Structure 1
Amino acid sequence: MARKKEFDEDAVLHKAMLLFWEQGYEKTSMQELVSHMGIHKGSMYDTFGDKHSLYVKSLKRYSEMLEQSVKRGMADTRSAKEAIRLLFEMAIQQQEEFPGGCFVVNTAVELANYDSETRDWVHLKWASTEQLIRDLIVEGQQSGEFSKTLNAEGLSYCFINALIGLRVMVKTISDREKLRQIIEMNMSVLE
């Protein structure tokens, strides 16, 4: 007969996510995970699988949190331009709240060269954000906010590149005015 879990699976996964986010995959040992999560090693394996599986689940949990945050923020925007700016501003805000940087970007930098599962997942997340940006540009063109001569697809590539770059820069640059100037320069392309 299977034993009843004596822990909140979501809360424990959140703890693992925070540890992986702070330290990365390679620097996080199984012992640190078990200790940080507050569960037995056997319970961890039974519930989440091996370290890699737990990492992927943590990454997905982070992504869900980020997507919810974006949706909440987008609900308050009044224009396509404001929504695009929000994506950039959130990169700075997230760093102020969670100094570990973007967990997706951290994963790309740490694991993409040798872990095809996480590389493919990161590409999927970036493609999703790129599509969101493209849709916002088209929406702005249809509403008359942006020129119809703008290349929505090309700009979405440019903006996802700028957004990823900004997410890397916020980890090392404390000059928020410089970061905001970077946002302004990117946004000026839409005028």
Structure 2
Amino acid sequence: MARLVAFDEERAIQKAMEVFWKKGYAATSMRDLTDAMQINSSSLYNTIGDKHQLFVRCIRHYTKMRIQAIEQRYADLGSSIQVLENFIKDAADIITTEPNSCMCIKATFEIEGDNPDIQAVINAYDDFTHQFLKNLIEHAQNQGEIDGNESADTIADYLNSLFIGWYNSFVLHKNRNKILNMAGFAIRHLRC
């Protein structure tokens, strides 16, 4: 009797996420997904659901991975301003080296905010990033490393909007130096 191979849902979600990340939601077929996940379509429907449900799971998986990476990378790196500067440099590096751009930004432009399930996941990730930056900024302000007269909320919003703009710029121009120069400019203007 043949032995059943256990279905590794986490691995399957990872594989599907990679396909969606590369091709986008609309360009990804069910065949692309089942091939990558190494399952048949009935198994996909029975375990996870349809393409939309799988995409929501993949966006959740992506944002969870990003949040874990941020929490691990910046757990104990020293002063808040140094962590903030490293975060900005890392953002510029990721934007210019990641082959498929940011999955959340791609999804946002593709769905145009029309899907509340996907938008909720992306908004939660954006809120996490905003709060992470705001906490660093407030701590740096308390230490006198950043001007305390500016709103930490506004600075965090500004940095988030910069990152999105850098993604767009890099997609259009593929100019790594341009992004790195803007990152340097942002860092120089943070300090008092």
> So what's the TM-score if we normalise by structure 2?
0.88
Q: Is the 8 A contact 1:22 1:100 kept in 2?
A: yes
Q: Which runs of 4+ in 1 moved over 6 A?
A: none
Amino acid at match of 2:109: V
CA distance in 1, matches of 2:62, 2:120: 16
Amino acid at match of 1:83: V
CA drift of 1:76 comes to: 4.6
Q: Deviations over 1:55-98 (max 9, x none)?
A: 01111111111112212221252222222223333333334553
CA distance in 1, matches of 2:84, 2:173: 22
CA drift of 1:21 comes to: 0.3
Q: Which moved more, 1:169-178 or 1:98-107?
A: 169-178
The aligned counterpart of 1:27 is: 27
CA distance in 1, matches of 2:81, 2:173: 25
The aligned counterpart of 1:128 is: 128
The aligned counterpart of 2:91 is: 91
Task: Structure 1: give runs of 5+ residues left out of the alignment.
Answer: none
**What pairs up with 1:5-44 in 2 under 5 angstroms?**
6-44=6-44
Task: Structure 2: give runs of 5+ residues left out of the alignment.
Answer: none
- The size of the alignment, in residue pairs, is 189
SS in 2 for 1:39: coil
Q: Structure 1 pair 75/113, CA: closer, same or farther in 2 (3 Å)? A: closer
Q: Deviations over 1:116-171 (max 9, x none)?
A: 22123222211221111111110101122222222211111111111121233333
Q: Which moved more, 1:90-99 or 1:80-89?
A: 90-99
Q: Is the 8 A contact 1:17 1:58 kept in 2?
A: yes
Does 1:170 find its partner at 2:170? yes
Q: Structure 1 pair 58/163, CA: closer, same or farther in 2 (3 Å)? A: same
SS in 2 for 1:189: helix
> Kindly, what percent of the aligned residue pairs are identical?
26
The aligned counterpart of 2:141 is: 141
> So what's the TM-score if we normalise by structure 1?
0.89
The aligned counterpart of 1:81 is: 81
Q: Which moved more, 1:118-127 or 1:25-34?
A: 118-127
The aligned counterpart of 1:188 is: 188
CA distance in 2, matches of 1:130, 1:91: 14
Q: Structure 1 pair 165/130, CA: closer, same or farther in 2 (3 Å)? A: same
Superposition CA RMSD, Å: 2.0
CA distance in 2, matches of 1:164, 1:186: 14
Q: Which moved more, 1:143-152 or 1:42-51?
A: 143-152
Q: Structure 1 pair 173/148, CA: closer, same or farther in 2 (3 Å)? A: same
Q: Deviations over 1:14-48 (max 9, x none)?
A: 10000000001110011111112110111111111
